[in-house]
Amino acid sequence: MLAKRIIPCLDVKNGRVVKGKKFLGLEDVNDPATLGKYYSDEGADELVFYDITASSDERKISLEFVERVAKEINIPFCVGGGINSIEDFTAILRKGADKVSINSAAVLNPSLITEASKKFGAQCVVLSIDAKKNDEGSWSVYIKGGREKTNLDAILWAIEGVRLGAGELVINSIDEDGMKQGYDLELLKRITQSVTVPVIASGGAGSIKHFYQAIDHANVDGILAASVFHYKEIQIKDLKKALKNQGIPIRL
């Protein structure tokens, strides 16, 4: 079995890392390159950076912080936010990122997934899905940083995204984002049972138990978190040791 990945998530706004709850109430945390280096040194397996207002502001992603991060860390990292074209993929990968995450653009232009996958390889194309529970008992896909609801079903969109060429999925629960009450295990399990590519859990980590549950119950390939790492409520080394002790394959 492949080792499970621990992935700090760094939301970037105006060149600074920020964190909120349910995509609201953003607080300043740190500089992206400084925090990225800290996590790299602490034993994170990967990092994800989201320029969280690029799509809603209808602007291109800030490439300046991507280049600075690439110079500071020695682990893979993914970048997302405001990516609308193959040219955007090219620019980000040239600045040193290993993967590119798309969300709003993929919904509005699904062929971008296929085009990017063919040009750069599926391993470079990450489909990020912001999902919120609906009254029908399933989950709706949201775009533009969680601001706009679509008519897409999250599970069906995950399946379609993989068919189009996405090599990895990041599934973020808007309901659980920043709440520290645990991941949406039902949503994650439905998706991991429906696709054959790696699935990364996002939204809801508050304790080491929550990381274990996402792996044990939903069989995710990676666990992404922000607040508990940013505010040092959980240290990555401690988390990895605890998961290892519970029989989870992990890189120490």
**Once rounded to an integer, what is the mean pLDDT over residues 70-86?**
94
What is the reported pLDDT for 171?
98
Tokens of 86: 């193959």
At residue 61 the predicted structure's pLDDT band, cuts being 50, 70 and 90, is: low
Rounded average pLDDT over 143-152? 91
Q: Which of 11, 31, 51, 184 is catalytic?
A: 11
Among residues 51, 130, 177, 184, the one annotated as catalytic is 130
**CA torsion through residues 87, 90, 91, 92, sign:** positive
pLDDT of residue 223: 98
Q: How many domains does the chain have?
A: 1
In a domain, 250, yes or no: no
Rounded alpha-carbon distances, angstroms, from residue 139 to 122, 136, 150, 153, 174 = 25, 8, 11, 6, 10
Q: Is residue 252 part of a domain?
A: no
Answer yes or no: are the C-beta atoms of 213 and 185 closer than 8 Å.
Answer: yes
Give the CATH number, domain containing residue 239. Answer: 3.20.20.70
What is the rounded (10 degree) CA torsion for 153, 154, 157, 161? 170
Q: Specify if 251 maps to a domain.
A: no
Residue 42 resides in a domain: yes
Q: Which residue has the higher pLDDT, 123 or 27?
A: 123
Q: Give every CB contact of residue 215 below 8 A, 6+ residues apart in sequence.
A: 4, 223, 243, 248
Domain contains 188: yes
Give catalytic status of residue 130 as yes or no: yes
Report if residue 18 sits inside a domain.
Answer: yes
φ/ψ of residue 238, rounded to 5: -65, -40
Predicted TM-score of the model (pTM) = 0.93
Q: Which domain range does residue 10 map to?
A: 5-245
pLDDT at 16: 86
Is pLDDT above 70 for 55? Answer: no
pLDDT digits (tens, 9 = 90+) for 152-204: 999 999 999 999 999 999 999 999 987 889 999 999 999 999 999 999 999 99
| pLDDT (0 to 100) of residue 14 | 80
